[in-house]
Amino acid sequence: MTRAALESTLLARRGAGRKLVVPYVTAGVVADWLQVVRALAAAGADAVEIGLPFSDPMMDGPTIQEASLRALERGTTAPAALAALADADVGVPLVAMTYYNIVYRAGHRRFARMLADAGVSGAIVPDLPLEESAPWRAEAEAAGVDGVLLVAPSTPDERARRICAASRGFVYAVGVMGVTGERAALADSARQVARRLRPLSRLPVCVGVGISTPEQAVEVCRDADGVVIGSALVHRLLEGADPTDAAALVVDVRRALDERVESDEPVETGRG
């Protein structure tokens, strides 16, 4: 196993003028999910988010709920999924996404080590807000795992500043007030939140939730450093797409971003 660092990789790629693409897949959603992870990396992902399924995913809409349920029914556990990843040698940074009870039950230190041992270099815990997250972030940092924090459209600026300062790896900007899921159109809040965060954050700002198409990715990346794409991809897997077909979405997003994004105006990026 080799471990690709999350924060330095993303900073370097942004520095090279590249928009970041971070696709999400639920571990265990299909038998060949590891092949999906590899296909996503090959399709031009800058990091891959791995969902460790939880019985009660309250930030997730129907698509990822269904994926979590299928993964659990297939017997997926966090330790087993992580053990599988440890041997996968994907070549891009991996970020675990799971709910806090999974972390809490394992124990902060043990869970952080499990991630590190599996070659995972970041973690997103969406039901663990800034105030509750300090003990977990300390253990994650000690294990070399970046604790990625989220900012929402409803977050006031002062609070957003503190979250940006505490986040590691990147800042996850929630693009829309709501749960994960595909949306027909990009919410106004997606660009607004990115625009608001860029000057507050020294880290890349990636917008997730409600980004489903290359067009939406291009639009939001006029203000954001990158996108997280989850439900649109998982939807394909649930409908039986093979890893390459599913990852084709990331190929399209990658190409669209590489070709078409030009910022309306230069956005000043914060120093910290």
Partner 1 sequence: MGPPGPDGRFGSFGGRYVPESLVPACEELAAAFEAAWSDAGFHEELDTILRVYGGRPTPVTPCRRLSEQLGVRLLLKREDLAHTGSHKLNNVVGQALLARRMGKRRLVAETGAGQHGVATATAAALFGMDCTVYMGEVDVERQALNVFRMQLLGAEVRTVSSGSRTLKDAVNEAMRDWVATVGHSHYCLGSVMGPHPYPWMVRELQRVVGEEARAQCRELLDGADPDWVVACVGGGSNAAGTFAGFVDTEAYLVGVEAAGGAAMGAGGVPGVLHGMASRLLQDEQGQILEAKSISAGLDYPGIGPEHAHLAELGRARYEQAHDAEVLAAFELLARTEGIIAAFEPAHALAWVVREAGRTVPLGSTVLVTLSGRGDKDVAQARELLG
Could you give the residue numbers annotated as active site?
Answer: 49, 60
CB of 261 to partner 1, least distance (A): 26
- Which chain residues interact with partner 1 by CB under 8 A? 54-59, 61, 65, 69, 72, 77-79, 100-106, 126-132, 149-156, 159, 163, 174, 177-179
Closest CA to 170 of 195, 150, 140, 199: 150
Under 8 Å between Cβ of 151 and 160: yes
Q: Which amino acid is at 155?
A: T
CB of 268 to partner 1, least distance (A): 24
Select 178 or 270, whichever has its Cβ closest to partner 1: 178
Neighbours of 108 (CB within 10 A): 17
Q: What distance in Å separates the CA atoms of residue 224 and residue 19, rounded to the nearest whole number?
A: 8
Under 8 Å between Cβ of 220 and 189: no
β-bridge pairing 226-229 and 20-26: parallel
Select 66 or 252, whichever has its Cβ closest to partner 1: 66
CB of 258 to partner 1, least distance (A): 30
Select 121 or 180, whichever has its Cβ closest to partner 1: 180
Q: What distance in Å separates the CA atoms of residue 249 and residue 81, rounded to the nearest whole number?
A: 24
CB of 160 to partner 1, least distance (A): 9
Start-to-end C-alpha separation, the chain? 32
Q: What distance in Å separates the CA atoms of residue 12 and residue 27, rounded to the nearest whole number?
A: 27
